[in-house]
Each structure stands twice: as structure tokens, then as C-alpha cells.
Amino acid sequence: MHAVVLYTFGPAENLRYEVVPDPVPGPGQVRIAVKAAGVHLIETAMRAGLAIGPPLPELPAIFGGEVAGTVESVGPGVDADWIGRDVVTSAGRPGGYAELAVADVAALHRMPGGLSHEAAVAMVVTGRTTIGVLDIAGLTTDDVVLVTSAAGGIGRLIVQHARRLGAKVVAAAGGPAKVAAVWDLGADHAVDYNEPGWAETVRESLGGREVTVVLDGVSGEKARAAFDLLADGGRMITFGAASRQEFHPDPEVLKARDVTMIDALALLIGSPEVMPADETRALAAAAEGALVPAVQTFPLAQAATAHAALESRATTGKVVLLP
């Protein structure tokens, strides 16, 4: 099969598209002909050799793991009825950036009717994470929600959920195209946070109301400015550090302003038992049209281009590779 292999940690062009042996499904596994494979921002850091998330893999490695496709063979002990079924999983091996992947039957979801492979693969982990973050955030109609990286994979889904709920949504994103994308999603306010003074623009646009919840996956300076916009008694839910910068508010300030900081990512990583159910919920939400993922696709052979685009903030929605 063709796959994207990393031999040396470094820049995106180190990702090599080449022919490797087909994976063989073991007991309890199926082999999937991959139609769509998801890419994560953290994988760009791992590719560069930065151990700021999951442990770095041994090299050579095929990155990824979330795949949607069609079961084309089964391993020992697996019902042959699986062959020909469309499935999606977060646990494709030896990696998702490939034409074929094996996965445990127990880790498969049948593709909900009407969902494309691209949409399913965009929801299985990014949607799962979003649902977990939203459960933790517990938004209400009274909330004024500020979302950073609002045009991204998670950000777009948060904006949609908050709008459906009837909360007021302030969407912050980098650059005019992303701002236009979040206006289109129905945000009450959209702001380009690459522009100086963006926080003041948000404050003015709220006409006296204050931000009650920040949902942030960027961290660093953007998180600090978002934190400063929070009303006393508000809550800040974090789920990543796309900027690769840190933000740690002074505990005394938190106390004085009665602001609650919640590291949603730590809570979600600490509860792996809920992940399969959250994957099912995310896929169902997409099938029902309650959450509609946007995908930006690249041919599998251009995984290096996809990585370069994602890490230079040039993508909107979920990045998906098509074998």
C-alpha cells in the first residue's frame, strides 16, 4: 500500500509518501480500505520532534489513527459480515496516513447513514473532543461565549452548538477569511484577533454585556486577552495550546475575580472510558445535522503540504487526507 512515513523528526517535507507492506489484520481485527484520514495539529509538533503532547513514536512511523473507509478483509475470529461495511474509527493502525489500516472490531463505529467519510473522520475525534469540552463547559442561554480559533476543527463546532443553544457567541479567529467563515456560521460577533486592539473591539461590540465563558485552545497571548475580557465570576475552559505558548493566570487574580479555570483536556484524558460513547454522540450529532463539520482535504500524497498548511494557520475546519 501507499502510506506517509516519517523517518526523521523535522520539517513537513520529511513526510514521505511511499510503498510499504500492507498491514495484516490480527485476531479480532479488520482491515479498512481508507477513504479519509484525519490530521491533528499536535501531529505537526510530534513530526517536528516536540514532545509537548503524546509521547513521540519510534521511527520510522506512520502518523494518525482516525480513519473512515470500507472493511475489505477480516482477521481470525471476526465475522465475515463486516466485509464491505463502511466504518470509522479513532484507532487505525499502523497509522491513519495510509491506504490501508487495521483496527479492533471493538473500536469500530458503523458509518451513520448520510455522512460522508470526510465528515465522519472529522467528527470521530475532533467531534468527540468538542462534545467532551461542551459537557464540561455546561453552556446556558444566558452565557456570552468567547471562542478562540473559532474557524478551526473544534472552534466551528463550538460556535454551532452555542448558537443552537441560544447563547451569545463571540468568535475570534486569525485573518479575514476565517472571520468571514465564522460570521457565516451565525456568530453574533466575529473578530480578527491578529489585529491589535481586537479585545477592545469585542468589548465595544457587546454593548455593556460581558463575556461569561471563554473556550480556548490557543493559549498564550490570545488566552491572556480573552481572560481579561471575562466578567468577574466567569469561567475559562481550556483544551489546548495551538500557539505553543503558555498562559497561567495569577491565582490571586483568579480568586479576586472569582474566575474558574478548567483544564478540559486534562479531564478528558483522565476519562478514557467515556471516549467511545462520546465518539458515538459526535457521529450522531453530525448525522442529525446538529453539528456540521467543515473539512479541508488534501490528497494523501500531499500530507507534507497539509502539515505545512496546518502549522502555518492556513487551514479552516478539520484537515483530512484522501488516499
Ligand X SMILES: NC(=O)c1ccc[n+]([C@@H]2O[C@H](COP(=O)([O-])OP(=O)(O)OC[C@H]3O[C@@H](n4cnc5c(N)ncnc54)[C@H](OP(=O)(O)O)[C@@H]3O)[C@@H](O)[C@H]2O)c1
Return residues touching ligand X (CB under 6 A). Answer: 40-42, 125-126, 129, 149, 151-155, 173-174, 178, 217-218, 239-244, 265, 311, 313, 315
Cβ contact 279:90 at 8 Å:
yes
User: Least Å distance between CB 241 and ligand X?
Assistant: 6
Cα gap 80→90, rounded to integer Å: 22
The smaller minimum CB distance to ligand X, of residues 41 and 105, is found at: 41
Residue 224's identity, in one-letter code, is R
Q: β-strand 100-104 against 29-39: which pairing, if any?
A: antiparallel
User: Least Å distance between CB 282 and ligand X?
Assistant: 10
Question: Rounded to whole angstroms, what are the CA distances from 270 to 132, 185, 218, 267?
Answer: 12, 32, 21, 5
DSSP conformation class of 57:
P
User: Least Å distance between CB 239 and ligand X?
Assistant: 5
The smaller minimum CB distance to ligand X, of residues 160 and 315, is found at: 315
The smaller minimum CB distance to ligand X, of residues 64 and 152, is found at: 152
Residue 6's identity, in one-letter code, is L
User: Least Å distance between CB 254 and ligand X?
Assistant: 22
Residue 93's identity, in one-letter code, is R
The smaller minimum CB distance to ligand X, of residues 100 and 151, is found at: 151
The smaller minimum CB distance to ligand X, of residues 20 and 314, is found at: 314
For helices 153-165 and 126-137, what crossing angle results, to 10°? 40
Cβ contact 306:150 at 8 Å:
no
User: Least Å distance between CB 80 and ligand X?
Assistant: 33
User: Least Å distance between CB 34 and ligand X?
Assistant: 18
User: Least Å distance between CB 178 and ligand X?
Assistant: 5
User: Least Å distance between CB 218 and ligand X?
Assistant: 5
Cβ contact 191:201 at 8 Å:
yes
Q: β-strand 86-89 against 295-299: which pairing, if any?
A: unpaired
Looking at beta carbons, which residue is closest to ligand X? Answer: 152
Cα gap 215→132, rounded to integer Å: 12
The smaller minimum CB distance to ligand X, of residues 259 and 268, is found at: 268
The smaller minimum CB distance to ligand X, of residues 105 and 236, is found at: 236
Burial 160-192 (b: 16+ CB within 10 A, else e): bbbbeeebbbbbbbbbeebbebbeebebbbbbb
The smaller minimum CB distance to ligand X, of residues 164 and 244, is found at: 244
**What cell was used for 72?**
475489505
